[in-house]
Amino acid sequence: MRFYKFICVLFTGIGVTNFYGQSKISCDLVGISNIAFEKNPTIKRSAYSIKSAEADFQIQRSVFDVNLFSELAVKTNRYTLFAEDPRNQFMDKVLKTNTLDFSAGLRKRLRTGQITDISLKYGFNNNNFPYDSFNQYVGAFWGNHVSSVNLSLTQPLLRGRGKDVTTISERISQLYIENSRSSNEFTNSNTILQIGQAYWNYYLAYKSLEIYKQNEGRVRNVLDVTKELIKADKKPAGDLAQVNADLANQEKFTALAEQNLYEARINLGRAIGLSNEESLQLDLPANDFPTIPESEYRSGLDKMAFIRIAKEKRSDLKAVGKISDALEMQYRLAENNTKPQLDLTGFVFYGSAIAGNGIDKTFSSFTNNEGRNLGAGAKLTFTFPVNNNLAKGNYAKDLASLNDQKISNENLQRNIELNISNAINKLDNSVIVLERAKEALDSYKDAFNNEQIKLQSGLTTILNVILFQERLTSSELEYLQAYQQFANAIISLRHETGTLISQGDKGFTLNQNVFYTIPNIANY
C-alpha cells in the first residue's frame, strides 16, 4: 500500500512539473517573432486591410457583371362609357379590360467600353368589346398577343470611351491591393523592430539584476572582511556602519532591478501581442547580445550602398509607389469625366402579333408571319452639365492629391536617406562606446580587486572600497547598456534598409541572423 502511494505521489509530482514546464513560453527572438505574426493585434489588423482592398477590387469588377432584369405587370380596368358612345349597344355601359405585360433581359458593360442590352417583351390584353380592331365580330374577351426581341449596342464616343478608361477603376483597385500588401509588410517589419528592442531591454533588465545581485554579494563579502578586521583591531568599529548602509542601499537597487525585470517582461509581452497571463509565462531570455565580430561590422560602411538596398527592399516605398500610380490613373479618369457624354447606340428588333385565346397563341406570337415587325436603327445621345462643376471639382481634387503624393514620396525617400545615415552613425558610435566600455570595465575590475587586497592589509579605507565597488557596478551596467545600443543599432539598420523580414509563400519569415548581423551589401 505504501509503495502504491509512493508511485501515485511520484507520478503526480511529475505531472505537475510537466504542466508548469510546458506553460512557460520560450523566449528566443525567432520564436517570439513567429508568435507575433499570429497574435499581434497590429499585424492582424494590417492583414484585414488587404482583405478590405480585395473587397474593393471585387466591387469595381461588379461594373462588368451581367445584370439580369425582368418585370411582370397585371392590370384590370373598368371604364364607364359615355351615353353617346356607340359601343353601348354591345356592352352594358362598362368596358372591361385585362392587361398582362412581361419583360426580361440582360445588360452588360464590356471592358472595351460598349454596353450591350438584350431584352424580350410580351404583352397580352383583352376586353369585353366583341369586335376586334378590324371591326370583325370575335366575341367578348378575345385575346391580343404582342411580342418582341430587342438587341442594342451603345458605344461611348467621348466620356468613358475605350478599354483604358473603362477598366481604370478596376486597375486602381488592384494597385491598392498591392499597396496594402506592401504596407502590411512594413507594419510587420516595424512590429518586429519593436519586439527586438523590447527583447534587448528585457535581456538588459535580466543581466542588470544579475549584476546587482553580484554587487550585493560583493558588499556582503566586504562586510565579512570588515568584521574580521575589526576583530583583529585593524579597523575601527565605526566602519561597520558604512558597510551596513551600503548593503542596505544595494538591496534597494536589487529590488528596483527586480521591478525593472518585471516591467520589461510585461512590455515584451505587450509588443508580441500576449495577454498579461501569457506575458508572465515568458521564460528567461535565451539569446545573448551580438558581438562585434559576429555582426560582420566593419569600419567605413558604404552609406550609398545601404540607401540603394533600401530603395529596392523598403516595402513602404513600394506602397507609396503603388499609391502614386493609382492617383495618376484616378487623375486620368477625372480628366476624362470632364468631357461631354456622347453615346452612339445601334439596335435591331424583331416582333410579331397574333389574336386569339389559348396558351398556344402566346408562343405563336413570336413566330406568326402576319403582324411580323423587323427593323434596325441608331440613336445619338448627348448629355453635358452646363457648368460641369462636379467633374471639374473632382479633376481639381485629384490633381491636388497627385501633386501632394509626389511631395510625400520625395519626402519619404529623403527621410529614408537621413534615417540610414543616422542608423550607420549610431552603429559606428555604438561600436566605439562598446569597446571603450569594455576597457573601462576591465580597469575597474582590476582597481576593485586591488582595493580588496589593500583592505585586507589595512592599506585602504572602507570608503575607498565602497567607492570602487560602486564604480565597478556602474561600469558593468554601462557595458550592458552599450551592448544594448549596439544590438538596437543592428536591427534599426535592418529595418531602415528593409531587410529585417522576408516575404515567403506561407507568410513572413525571419532568421536569427537579422538580429545579429548587418545587411550584406553583396547578397541581401
Element (H, E) at 47: helix 41-61
Q: Quick one: residue 457, left, alpha or beta (phi over 0 = left, psi -120 to 50 = alpha)? A: alpha
Alpha helices in 285-350 (DSSP H): 303-313, 315-337
Say if CB 148 and CB 120 are below 8 A apart. Answer: yes
Residue 361's nearest CA partner among 148, 147, 150 is 147
- Reduce the secondary structure of 120-139 to three states and give it as a string: EEEEEEEECCCECCCCCECC
State the Cα–Cα distance between residues 168 and 175, nearest whole angstrom: 11
Q: What is the pLDDT of residue 236?
A: 74
Mean pLDDT in residue range 221-228: 78
Confidence band (pLDDT; 50, 70, 90) for 242?
A: confident
Confidence band (pLDDT; 50, 70, 90) for 1?
A: very low
Q: What is the pLDDT of residue 493?
A: 96
As a whole number of Å, the end-to-end CA separation of the chain is 67
Mean pLDDT in residue range 458-472: 78
Q: What is the pLDDT of residue 14?
A: 40
Say if residue 424's pLDDT is above 50.
Answer: yes
Query: What percent of the chain has a predicted confidence (pLDDT) above 70?
Result: 95
Distance of CA 3 to the CA centre of its chain: 60
Return the higher-pLDDT residue of 462 and 490.
490
Give the phi and the psi of residue 169 in degrees, each rounded to 5: -65, -35
Say if residue 329's pLDDT is above 90.
Answer: yes
Say if residue 156's pLDDT is above 90.
Answer: yes
Mean pLDDT in residue range 405-423: 96
Q: Find the helix packing angle between 389-457 and 462-497, rounded to 10°.
A: 150
Say if CB 113 and CB 162 are below 8 A apart. Answer: yes
Q: What is the pLDDT of residue 227?
A: 81
Residue 190's nearest CA partner among 318, 46, 38, 312 is 46
Query: What percent of the chain has a predicted confidence (pLDDT) above 90?
Result: 70
Mean residue pLDDT across the chain: 89
Say if CB 262 and CB 271 are below 8 A apart. Answer: no
Cβ–Cβ contacts within 10 Å for residue 409, how many? 15
Q: What is the pLDDT of residue 523?
A: 76
Q: What is the pLDDT of residue 89?
A: 87
Place of cell 579605507: 461
User: What is the per-residue pLDDT across 25-71, written as a single tens digit (0 to 9) for each?
Assistant: 999 999 999 999 999 999 999 999 999 999 999 999 999 999 999 99
Residue 337's nearest CA partner among 272, 391, 270 is 391
Strands 25-27 and 282-285: parallel
Return the higher-pLDDT residue of 237 and 106.
106
Beta strands (DSSP E) in 41-132 are: 67-80, 94-109, 115-127
Residue 192's nearest CA partner among 521, 524, 490, 506 is 490
State the Cα–Cα distance between residues 512 and 518, nearest whole angstrom: 12
Residue type, 339: K
Q: Which residues contact 514 (CB under 8 A, 6 or more apart)?
A: 491, 494, 499, 500, 501
Place of cell 513560453: 25
Q: Structure pTM?
A: 0.82
Place of cell 434596325: 376
Distance of CA 322 to the CA centre of its chain: 15
User: What is the per-residue pLDDT across 339-398, written as a single tens digit (0 to 9) for each?
Assistant: 999 999 999 999 998 888 888 887 787 788 888 889 999 999 999 988 899 999 999 999
Please, how many CA atoms are within 13 Å of residue 266, restricted to the half-sphere of its CB?
8
For the chain, give the longest Cα–Cα distance.
150
Cβ–Cβ contacts within 10 Å for residue 277, how many? 9
State the Cα–Cα distance between residues 189 and 409, nearest whole angstrom: 20
Distance of CA 152 to the CA centre of its chain: 45
Q: What is the pLDDT of residue 524?
A: 62
State the Cα–Cα distance between residues 121 and 70, nearest whole angstrom: 9
Say if residue 114's pLDDT is above 90.
Answer: yes
Say if CB 354 and CB 135 are below 8 A apart. Answer: no
Say if residue 285's pLDDT is above 90.
Answer: yes
Q: What is the pLDDT of residue 468?
A: 83
